[in-house]
Structure 1
Amino acid sequence: MRLKDCHNFQDFRRLAKRRLPGPIFNYIDGGADDEVTYRENTRTFDRCDLLPSVLRGVTDVDMSVTVMGQKLDMPIYCSPTALQRLFHHQGERAVAAAAEKYGTMFGVSSLGTVSMEELRQKHKNPQVYQFYFHKDRGLNSAMMQRAKEAGVEVMMLTVDSITGGNRERDLRTGFSIPFRLTLGGMIQFAIKPMWGINYVTHERFRLPQLDEHVDMGGGASSIGGYFTDMLDPSMDWDDVAEMVREWDGQFCLKGIMTVEDARRAAEIGCTGIILSNHGGRQLDGSRTPFDQLVEIVDAVGDKLDVMMDSGIQRGTHVLKALSLGAKAVGVGRHYLYPLAAAGQSGVERALGLMRAEIERDMKLMGVTRIDQLSRTNLRFRDTATSSGDVHRHTA
């Protein structure tokens, strides 16, 4: 199987699985506990049907959106994800370049493997900096100031990760930074030697956003240790409100799932929220963002920009989310599998396929602009869910 044979999410996943050592593939691929939420994130879209309109004259399609003050040429963006140079030596460089080619936003994680400054200097497309709340308030301020000086447009605070999820696949393989592999994990690396050759023949793996603040070397610290020792589980709304004031710009919270929390985010001055269960990697059994969209858009959609991630695999998934009021949709594994499979060319192919799907699906729906999508385009099969009430209210 080669890159040109990849036509969808599952194809990229298969190619990534073929190329990555098992522990690294399972780090991308896995979720928390029994992975119920992970599976449900995508399945929930299957309970929602699109209602296309015909004879609408759909020669030219404009899929651009403006979200948190950023103009995007397509309504999806590359969510910030950690450790990208572990999956392919190009890492964030590949993702930023591919996102720029398609005119969309990309994110850099606190646990990113390329510096936000380098990416900001090389690429003109909007950049998000995703960070965590540390016990050391000075560190929080320093990281925000660094992002401001780098020219980052959007600050994104992850609020659903005050402790790491129970990812049992990683426990079985011993995946951590630095590696503490089990015997089975070591064997997996041995049977995929090309990954190791690429790893040792390219620049040293590092976490430049944290290099000055955290010792990730010498076996003393791991990503799990970073979450356990440095992040502050006592973070509350007052802490975040102070950060929003300090940043004084586009600021969104990633991991909001309740109406009450969404309202609080609006009250303290956030300009955006991202409905997210972290791709099913944190609290297993939590509700899907798609199922929560209606409640939250109705509560705060006029006060800030509502986005969502988790489970997006198709252009039709994107259109369903936008029809319910999401301003844009984030993807993670959707670009990580192609990154792992083929670097920048893989990410470009994935984004290109997604763009083609969205354009085709908009034409088939009879719309030429994103703002023509609405809840009247949808019907839900499962009327027990809050989303299922949509067609009773609007039809």
Structure 2
Amino acid sequence: MAEIIIDPKLPSIEHLKAKTKKRIPRFAYEYLSGGCNNEVNLRKNTAEIRDIELKPYYLRDYGGIDMKTELFGHTYDAPFGISPIGLQGLIWPRATEILAKAAHDHNLPFILSTVATADVETVAEITEGKAWFQLYHPAEKELRNKLIKRVDEAGYPVLVILSDVPTFGYRPKEIKNGLSIPPKLTIPNMLQIMANPNWALSTLLAGQPEFKTLKPYVPKGLNLKHLGLFMNKTFNGRMSEDRIKEIRDMWKGKIVMKGAASHEDIQKSIEIGLDGVIISNHGGRQLDAGQSTIAVVSDIIEEFKGKTKIMMDSGMRCGPDIASTLATGAEFAFLGRAPMYGVGAMGKKGGNQAISILKRELQQVMEQLCCERVEDLHKHLIKK
């Protein structure tokens, strides 16, 4: 287990976020931090978690806390993990590998995205076969089958099916910055790169970020324009019962559906035989008019607790947010932006810094509540 060591110069995720904003080009920062449309759901995700109140019990016997949490047969050292993010190498070179190693060192689950900048085999080696893989569904079954076979052969125990990208979110900041595929090297973007020489030099030395897992399937010699056309043609994120049933028949390990946001979809996932759901709205990047993730958890928890593993991502930025999420009924939490702010701010040391902050903050909340076990956090929820 990795030791919790926190650099006092950047002692919170907000400090890491502010440092990241200064250290990388604006187009990269806005890709990481932004949402869709007017970013209503992006803000609502965090704000509604922070509307939750928890009750401390100061005069009870207290024997100390234990954050260990069992999930799918593995006991993790804390009740949270690292969410998948595409194109992580845009934020900082080798960001995927940095976070995978930090998660493994802290005995936390790391979810690799299909469109991350490290491949399946590399992350499997870093995590000793303990990482999870998020499948962005290809349009063609042949490519889907090849990806699933590689993930299986690499030893991944959990397959995460992405369900909340039937269409690409409308993200004005990314459009203006030219970060739709293919990316555009506009004059403003070039000026931003020149203003961040550490990022520019590190990126130059590491090489242009690539979708490493997909590299074997991309025709050689494509320029950026044709690569964009290839990616748009190759992937179709719209899921269906039939597609999920086919994957269930192929995959012998655990399967989780990420992006669930309704009673109907969760019920169908149980009927198909999936093992869990991650309540998610893609970090507020897909449907601005949707519910916050914590609102969905609050709505579905009584009906589905015990029938399937209920996890959540989107909106959590600190240890108290994790505590509130778990108190509402979610059994595990995943965070994407918070760990990435660590890497953006501190490079190789940033994954450990972000995870250490989150663990220390969660520990302090549980000690303050006099809550000894993660599964007892719900007893501290103040219901309104």
Runs of 4+ in 1 over 4 A off after TM superposition: none
Aligned twin of 1:236 = 240
**Aligned mates of 1:271, 1:368 — CA distance in 2:** 27
| Preserved contact between residue 77 and residue 331 of structure 1 (Cα < 8 Å) | yes
* Structure 1 counterpart of 2:62: 58
CA drift at 1:315: 1.4
Partners of 1:33 and 1:174 in 2: CA distance: 16
User: CA offsets, 1:131-165, max 9 Å, x none?
Assistant: 11111011111111100000111101111112211
Coordinate RMSD, CA, aligned: 1.9
Q: Which residue of 1 aligns with 2:225?
A: 220
Contact 2:129–2:154 under 8 Å retained in 1: no
Q: Give the 3 Å change call, closer, same or farther, for CA 259–227 of structure 1 in structure 2.
A: farther
For residues 148-196 of structure 1, the C-alpha deviation after alignment (integer angstroms, 9 at most, x for no partner) is 0001111011111122111111111112454313332222122112212
For 1:377, the equivalent position in structure 2 comes to: 380
Residue 253 (str. 1) matches residue 257 (str. 2) = yes
Is 146-155 or 91-100 further displaced after alignment?
A: 91-100
Once the two structures are TM-superposed, the CA of residue 361 in structure 1 deviates from its matched residue by 0.7
Q: Which residue of 2 aligns with 1:272?
A: 276
1:300 aligned partner: 304
Q: Tell me if structure 1 keeps the 8 A contact 2:94–2:117.
A: no
Q: Which residue of 2 aligns with 1:109?
A: 113
For residue 209 of structure 1, give the secondary structure of its aligned residue in structure 2. helix
Are 2:133 and 2:158, in contact at CA under 8 Å, matched by a contact in 1? Answer: yes
Contact 2:114–2:136, Cα closer than 8 Å, also in 1: yes
Give the structure 1 partner of residue 173 of structure 2: 169
Candidates 91, 98, 114, aligned match of 1:94: 98
Superposition map of 1:298-377 within 5 A: 298-374=302-378, 376-377=379-380
Q: What do the CA deviations read for 1:196-252 (whole angstroms, capped 9, x no partner)?
A: 2111112453222101223594113456x4663222355311111110121121101
Report SS of the residue matched to 1:71: strand
The letter of the residue matching 2:277 is I
Deviations 1:288-336 (A, max 9, x none): 1101113222222212100001110121211111122211100000011
Counterpart AA for 1:10: E
Q: Secondary structure at the match of 2:333?
A: strand
**Kept in 1: contact 2:320–2:362 (CA 8 A):** yes
Structure 1 residue identity aligned to 2:293: P
Query: Gaps (5+ residues) in structure 1?
Result: 380-390
| 1:19-98 superposed matches below 5 A | 19-98=23-102
Give how far 1:63 is off: 0.5
| Distance verdict in 2 for CA 1:109–1:234, change over 3 Å | closer
Structure 2 CA distance for aligned equivalents of residues 234 and 337 of structure 1: 30
- Segment of structure 1 superposing worse, 246-255 or 213-222: 213-222
Distance 1:243 1:205 in 2: 29
Q: Which of residues 159, 163, 169 in structure 2 aligns to 1:159?
A: 163
Contact 1:106/1:128 (CA < 8 Å) preserved in 2? yes
Query: If the length of structure 1 is used for normalisation, what is the TM-score?
Result: 0.91
What CA distance in whole angstroms lies between the structure 2 residues aligned with 1:23 and 1:8?
23
Counterparts of 1:105 and 1:234 in 2: how far apart (Å)? Answer: 26
Aligned amino acid, residue 380 of structure 2: N
Matches of 1:125 and 1:235 in 2, distance apart? 27
Residue among 7, 17, 20 paired with 2:21: 17
Question: Sequence identity, in percent?
Answer: 27
Q: Is contact 1:41–1:280 with CA below 8 Å preserved after alignment?
A: yes
Which residue number in structure 1 is paired with residue 3 of structure 2?
none
SS in 2 for 1:47: coil
Rounded Cα–Cα distance in structure 1 between residues aligned with 2:272 and 2:127: 31
SS of the residue corresponding to residue 211 of structure 2 reads coil
Does structure 2 retain, via aligned residues, the 8 Å contact 1:56–1:367?
Answer: no
Is 1:207 the counterpart of 2:211? The answer is yes
In structure 2, runs of 5+ residues without a counterpart are: 1-5
2:298–2:328 Cα contact (<8 Å) kept = yes
Instruction: Evaluate the alpha carbon distance shift between residue 178 and residue 194 of structure 1 in structure 2; reply closer, same or farther with a 3 A threshold.
Output: farther
